[in-house]
Amino acid sequence: MSAQRESQVAAAQRESQVAAAQRESQVAGASREGELSLGAGAPAGALRAGEGTPAPTVPLRRAVGALLRKELLVELRTLESVPGMSLFALSTFVVFHFALNRNSVEGDLATGVLWVTLLFASLLGVNRLFVADAEEGGVDGFLLAPVDRSAMLIAKELTLLCYLVVLELVAVPAFALLLSVPMAHALPDLLLVLALADVGVAVVGTLVAALAVQTRARDLLGPLLGLPLLVPIVIGAARATSPLLVAGHAGTPAARWLAMLALYDLIFGLIAYAVFDFLLED
């Protein structure tokens, strides 16, 4: 190496040291402002898989907020998931209306129509959940950041939950109108069932979507993996909904089915938290 190059490298090394000192100072400043947390504030995920002492990291809440904001912004711009899910549900209710050849449905039949439609509509959203990240390198961009990987799990679950809420804001009134389902008095109880089922679909759906997106057959694998795992949610939700959709609203949702939905949500929430890191890993 020439003397000129050696002096260039020495100068670059000096600049590098200065830049490193500046970076450390910036990190310290940011930390004071609550932008970063150190050591004890590091997320549990930072200490997983024997990765040593955690480095400065962005708090989980901030990371989830950034990811969720980005997810909703992308959906707002592309309209690739929610409109498709909603249109699918509306079309399916119309098909049921003509296929059943009835002006109104209630009880078990109404419950079946509602939950099967919501299940398949939600699978459309599940299939699209990681597509933008996979196609545009978003997962790598996320993995390069000093952020607990659970942030992506939580943000995706919340995103899917938002999609499901919007879907149901469209689909449930349409269901009541198109199939003349008696549900005005049952609405508070129905909302409880919908909320418990939505959490389950969001948790299971995120897990399945993260797994499927790694494969070339993701469009096929998502529903194939998702349907068996979502069946218990449909069973619990249908059993809990059935007494609500009868003329005069005779019943209330059985507590055991609500408890079953809550337990399923909890179990899959824990499973998703435990395995999500490994799904993102090489």
Partner 1 sequence: MAAVELEGLARHYGEREALWGVSLSLQRGQTLVVLGPNGAGKTTLLRILAALLRPHAGEVRVLDRRLPEESWQVRGEVGLLAHEPMLYRSLTAEENLRFHARLHGVQEQRVAELLAELSLSERAHEPLRTLSRGMVQRVAIARTVLHEPELLLLDEPYANLDPGALDLVDPLIGPGSGRTRVMCSHDPAGALREADVVLGLREGRVAVQGTPAEVSAEELEDLYR
Binding residues for partner 1, per CB under 8 A? Answer: 1-2, 5, 8-9, 12-20, 22-23, 26, 30, 35-36, 46, 50-58, 62-63, 65-67, 69-70, 73-74, 77-78, 132, 136-138, 140-147, 281-282
Output the CA torsion sign for 20, 63, 68, 153.
positive
Q: Specify whether the CB–CB gap between 187 and 150 falls below 8 A.
A: no
Q: Specify whether the CB–CB gap between 180 and 105 falls below 8 A.
A: yes
Q: Which CB atom, from 6 or from 219, has the smaller least distance to partner 1?
A: 6
Beta carbon of residue 150, minimum distance to partner 1 (angstroms, whole number): 13
Q: Specify whether the CB–CB gap between 148 and 63 falls below 8 A.
A: yes
Beta carbon of residue 276, minimum distance to partner 1 (angstroms, whole number): 16
Q: Which CB atom, from 35 or from 108, has the smaller least distance to partner 1?
A: 35
Beta carbon of residue 149, minimum distance to partner 1 (angstroms, whole number): 10
Range list of H helices, 144-248: 150-178, 187-212, 218-241
Question: In one letter, which amino acid is 167?
Answer: L
Residue 184 C-alpha from the chain's centroid: 29
Q: Which CB atom, from 38 or from 247, has the smaller least distance to partner 1?
A: 38
Distance between CA 206 and CA 225 in Å, rounded? 12
Q: Specify whether the CB–CB gap between 230 and 208 falls below 8 A.
A: no
Beta carbon of residue 121, minimum distance to partner 1 (angstroms, whole number): 22
Distance between CA 141 and CA 68 in Å, rounded? 15
Beta carbon of residue 135, minimum distance to partner 1 (angstroms, whole number): 9
Distance between CA 81 and CA 69 in Å, rounded? 16
Q: Which CB atom, from 2 or from 103, has the smaller least distance to partner 1?
A: 2
Distance between CA 56 and CA 11 in Å, rounded? 28
Q: Which CB atom, from 23 or from 256, has the smaller least distance to partner 1?
A: 23
Q: Which CB atom, from 20 or from 274, has the smaller least distance to partner 1?
A: 20
Beta carbon of residue 201, minimum distance to partner 1 (angstroms, whole number): 25
Q: Which CB atom, from 70 or from 218, has the smaller least distance to partner 1?
A: 70
Segment (H or E) for 78: helix 60-78
Most distant CA atoms of the chain, gap in Å: 93
**What tokens appear for 97 in the block?**
């209306």
Beta carbon of residue 166, minimum distance to partner 1 (angstroms, whole number): 18
